[in-house]
Amino acid sequence: MSVLSSLVSALGDGSIEVVDLTSPLSAETPVIQLPPEFGQTAHFALEEISRYDDRGPAWYWNNFRSGEHTGTHFDAPNHWVTGQGKADIASVPAGHLIAPVVVLDFSAQAGEDADFLLEVDHIKAWESEHQALPAGGWLFYRTGWDARSSSQEEYVNADESGPHTPGMSAECARWVAEEAPVIGVGVETVGTDAGAAHSFEPAFPCHSYLMGNDKYGLTQLQNLAQVPPTGAVVIAGPLPIVTGSGAPARVLALVER
């Protein structure tokens, strides 16, 4: 049997399960909130064109408004100033949209401390227990934050000192971007950076280092608990917005059962 026939057969008999890692898109989908002096991303919004009525008797359809970085989405290298002139979202090679993934579960630590930061030593310890980070694949960082994704307030978790959500230290972000063989980082939070990363050095180190090294981000993922630490494959399908800095994406994991 050809490899693709085997895949189709495994999908059919359930020995490979498709896990949807995408947050549903609606007006309630949480979005990042920047300090008021900066431009803000749009919430997702539907605008009805017709619904089997005078405007279109046999059909229902909508226009929609959305930020490129609203809901589960893919950060392209040109999103950050460090990746200025690098690939836009339409130029990300199609071959990068299907890739192996490892899932590092730090949901216990992030549950105890909303400002928990992943360090290089955490990743190295994980690698000695499991396997090396996959060349050409994704590092998905599980924090349990998907459980908060139905509430803007709980998801962003801000107080007078700013948002409190887990992320990576600046040194860890630098190491992942410059030394690890992965193509990008996927997270359950509103962005790849920690809530407090505005005051890190450099500020927003995940964005700064990943984009500057032609790497990618995937955010607002769900259901990572259903993906094993190693062995899964991710299909990430951002809209090919020409010149765009990112796009909402349907993200699926193929998991062997």
**Residue closer to Mn ion (CB basis): 69 or 215:** 69
In the bound complex, what is the minimum distance in angstroms from residue 200's beta carbon to Mn ion? 17
- CA distances from residue 130 to 99, 185, 201, 228, 229 in whole angstroms, order as listed: 18, 18, 31, 11, 8
Cβ pair 206, 151 in contact under 8 A: no
**Residue closer to Mn ion (CB basis): 134 or 248:** 248
Part in contact with Mn ion (CB under 5 A); list of ranges 64-72, 120-128, 138-146, 157-165: 64-72
Part in contact with Mn ion (CB under 5 A); list of ranges 8-16, 71-79, 197-205, 248-256: 71-79
Site for Mn ion contains 69 (CB under 5 A): yes
In the bound complex, what is the minimum distance in angstroms from residue 190's beta carbon to Mn ion? 8
Q: Hey, which bits of the chain come out as E strands?
A: 16-20, 45-53, 56-65, 73-75, 98-105, 117-118, 138-142, 158-159, 162-163, 167-168, 184-187, 216-219, 232-238, 246-256
Positions in 76-135 near Mn ion (CB under 5 A):
none
Question: How many Å apart are CA 11 and CA 231, to the nearest integer?
Answer: 16
Dmax of the chain from CA atoms? 64
Coil, strand or helix at 22: strand
Total residues contacting Mn ion by CB under 5 A comes to 2
Part in contact with Mn ion (CB under 5 A); list of ranges 19-27, 73-81, 82-90, 161-169: 73-81
Site for Mn ion contains 215 (CB under 5 A): no
Residue 37 dihedral angles phi and psi, to the nearest 5° = -75, -10
| Rg, Å, the chain Cα set | 19
In the bound complex, what is the minimum distance in angstroms from residue 246's beta carbon to Mn ion? 5
- The residue of the chain with the least Cβ separation from Mn ion equals 69
Using alpha carbons only, give the angle 228, 234, 235 rounded to the nearest 5 degrees.
155
Among 75, 146, 188, 193, binds Mn ion (CB under 5 A): 75
Site for Mn ion contains 193 (CB under 5 A): no
Site for Mn ion contains 207 (CB under 5 A): no
Part in contact with Mn ion (CB under 5 A); list of ranges 51-59, 75-83, 162-170, 174-182: 75-83
In the bound complex, what is the minimum distance in angstroms from residue 191's beta carbon to Mn ion? 6
Cβ pair 193, 205 in contact under 8 A: yes
Query: Would you tell me which residues interact with Mn ion (CB under 5 A)?
Result: 69, 75
